[in-house]
Structure 1
C-alpha cells in the first residue's frame, strides 16, 4: 500500500525523483536545474505554495522513468505514478499539465487521460512551466525562445510537439510574460 503524504515537500519530491530518474544523465541535470529555478522564482507564488512549486519542479519529468512508463507521454505517466504513490492530486495535476502538455496530449490521442488532471491555471502552475521553459535539456539556463527552438529541434518537425507548436508556443509565451511581470512586481 502506498504511503500517503499529507503535504508535498521538496525533500520528499527530490528523493522520489532521484530514485526514478536520478540515473538518467541529462534528464536529471535538467530536473535539478528546474527545481533550483523554481526555488529562485518562488516569490511569485503564494507563500503556502512555495514548497509545492519546488516539489512539482523536482517531479515534473518523473514520467520519463521506467518505473512510471504507461502511456509513453511523460506528463501523464508521471502524474499516474504520483497518484499510485499517494501524492496529493494537486501535485499530480501540476506535473500532468506542465509546459502546455494538454496540447501535446490532444494530438497524441490522450485527451481523456489528461482530463483526469485538471489544469489549475494558477500562479503556481505558471511558475512551474516558466522554470521548465527557462532551463535547457542539459540543465543550462535558456531564454524562452531558445528553449522553444531547442525543444522543436530535438523532437523534430513531424513530432506531436511540432504539430501543436502553433498553440503551445503562444501559451508558453503568455505564461512567461505573466511570470516575468510577477517577478518585476516582487522586486
Structure 2
C-alpha cells in the first residue's frame, strides 16, 4: 500500500499547492467556510512538528482539503467527509490524504449518527499522529478562522447546530474522545521543543 500511495503522490505534482488550488475552487464560493479552511491549513502547517517530517506535506494538504465535501459540485450524500474523500479518490489523490479527509474531526462518530458507517468504511481508519494533528488544526479553528481553545470550539459547534441535528449529537459523544488527540499532539510537540 505504501508504494500505491507513493505512486499516487507522484501523480499529484506539488501536493500542497495543488490542494490549496482545489480547495479554493471548491470552497471559496462558500464564503465563510473558505475563511475557516484557509486558517485550518495555516494551523496545520504550525502543527507540522507533531508529525514526521515526511508527513508534514500530507498534513497541510489534508487541512486544505478537509471541507471540500461541502461544495455543491461534489456534495452527493450530504455527509461532507465522505463526499470529499470519494471525490479525491476518484481524482487520484494520495490514499493517505483521502483517508484523512474521510476521517477528519470525528467523522466516524457523525457517520454513525447519520447511518453511514458502512459507507465511511470504504476508507481505512488509522488512529495516527497525522489524524491527531488534523483534528487539532480543525478543532482549534473557528468558523471565522479565529483560533479557539478546544472546549470553546466544541461549545461553538453545539450552539450552532440544534439539539436534534446529527452534528450536535455527534459532538456530545465525540468531544471527550477527540480531546485525547489534543493531549497526544501537545505531548509530541513538547518532545520536539
Q: What aligned pairs does 1:1-187 form with structure 2 within 5 A after superposition?
A: 5-6=9-10, 9-187=15-193
Q: Give the Cα–Cα distance (whole angstroms) in 2 for the partners of residues 46 and 135 of structure 1.
A: 22
Aligned pairs, number: 184
Over residues 74-125 of structure 1, what are the superposed CA-to-partner deviations in whole Å (9 max), with x where a residue is unaligned?
0001001101211122211100100011001011010111101111111011
Q: Which moved more, 1:43-52 or 1:19-28?
A: 19-28
Secondary structure, aligned partner of 2:138: helix
Unmatched segments (≥5 aa) in structure 2: 1-7
Change (3 A) 1:65 1:169: same
Q: Give, in angstroms, the shift of residue 155 of structure 1.
A: 1.3
Q: Give, in angstroms, the shift of residue 185 of structure 1.
A: 1.6
Instruction: Provide TM-score, normalisation by structure 2.
Output: 0.91
Q: Give, in angstroms, the shift of residue 180 of structure 1.
A: 1.2
List structure 1 segments (4+ residues) > 4 angstroms apart after TM superposition.
none
Unmatched segments (≥5 aa) in structure 1: none
Q: Give the Cα–Cα distance (whole angstroms) in 2 for the partners of residues 51 and 118 of structure 1.
A: 20
Secondary structure, aligned partner of 1:98: helix
Q: Give the Cα–Cα distance (whole angstroms) in 1 for the partners of residues 191 and 162 of structure 2.
A: 37
Instruction: Provide TM-score, normalisation by structure 1.
Output: 0.94
- Root-mean-square deviation (CA, aligned residues, Å) is 1.3
Q: Give the Cα–Cα distance (whole angstroms) in 1 for the partners of residues 192 and 107 of structure 2.
A: 28
